[in-house]
């Protein structure tokens, strides 16, 4: 992997980022509107390399590995491309077209979050800094 020592690092960074996203009122409200169980499946980079966010029915629960139910939406990509995408350095449409990201399920809710990705990128960068991984931040 280009950005991660191992898959645990990726899971730690991205799950921590989602925890911080949940602390932002605007993003939390955005997630509430999504109202889905979303699985970010990075298992092509390691067996348990996955993060899920359950924002159904006003909840905001984050977990790693296999989700508790069948996800409404699954986005499968490598942990490196996940890093690029959360840094807002990967055009998601282009990545889907070129099969770097595979999507299963309804992405309608996720579209509501796309305009917020810039803000998420800021939170992600801060999360990496807090974890002592500022060197991973892409300029």
Q: Does 26 bind other proteins (CB under 8 A)?
A: no
Q: Does 112 bind other proteins (CB under 8 A)?
A: yes
CA quadruple 35, 59, 130, 39: dihedral sign: negative
Residues binding other proteins: number (CB under 8 A): 16
Find out whether 72 and 38 touch, Cβ atoms under 8 Å.
Answer: yes
Least distance to other proteins from the beta carbon of 17, Å? 21
Q: Which is nearer to other proteins, 94 or 134 (CB)?
A: 94
Q: Does 47 bind other proteins (CB under 8 A)?
A: no
Least distance to other proteins from the beta carbon of 132, Å? 31
Tell me the window of 20-28, 77-85, 94-102, 121-129 that interacts with other proteins (CB under 8 A). Answer: 94-102
Q: Does 25 bind other proteins (CB under 8 A)?
A: no
Per-position DSSP letters for 77-135, written without gaps between them: --HHHHHHHHTT-S-HHHHHHTTSSEEEE--HHHHHHGGGHHHHHHHHHHHHHHTT-GG
């Amino acid at each position: 992997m280009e950005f991660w020592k191992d898959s645990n690092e990726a899971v730690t960074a991205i799950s921590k980022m989602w925890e911080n996203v949940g602390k932002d009122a605007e993003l939390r409200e955005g997630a509430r509107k999504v109202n889905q169980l979303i699985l970010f499946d990075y298992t092509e980079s390691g067996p348990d390399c996955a993060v899920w966010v359950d924002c159904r029915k006003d909840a905001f629960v984050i977990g790693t590995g296999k989700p508790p139910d069948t996800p409404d939406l699954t986005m499968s990509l490598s942990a490196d491309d996940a890093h690029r995408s959360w840094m807002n350095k990967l055009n998601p449409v282009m990545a889907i077209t070129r099969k770097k990201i595979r999507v299963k399920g309804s992405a309608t809710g996720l579209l509501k979050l796309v305009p917020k990705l810039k803000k998420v990128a800021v939170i992600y960068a801060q999360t990496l800094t807090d974890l002592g991984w500022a060197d991973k931040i892409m300029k």
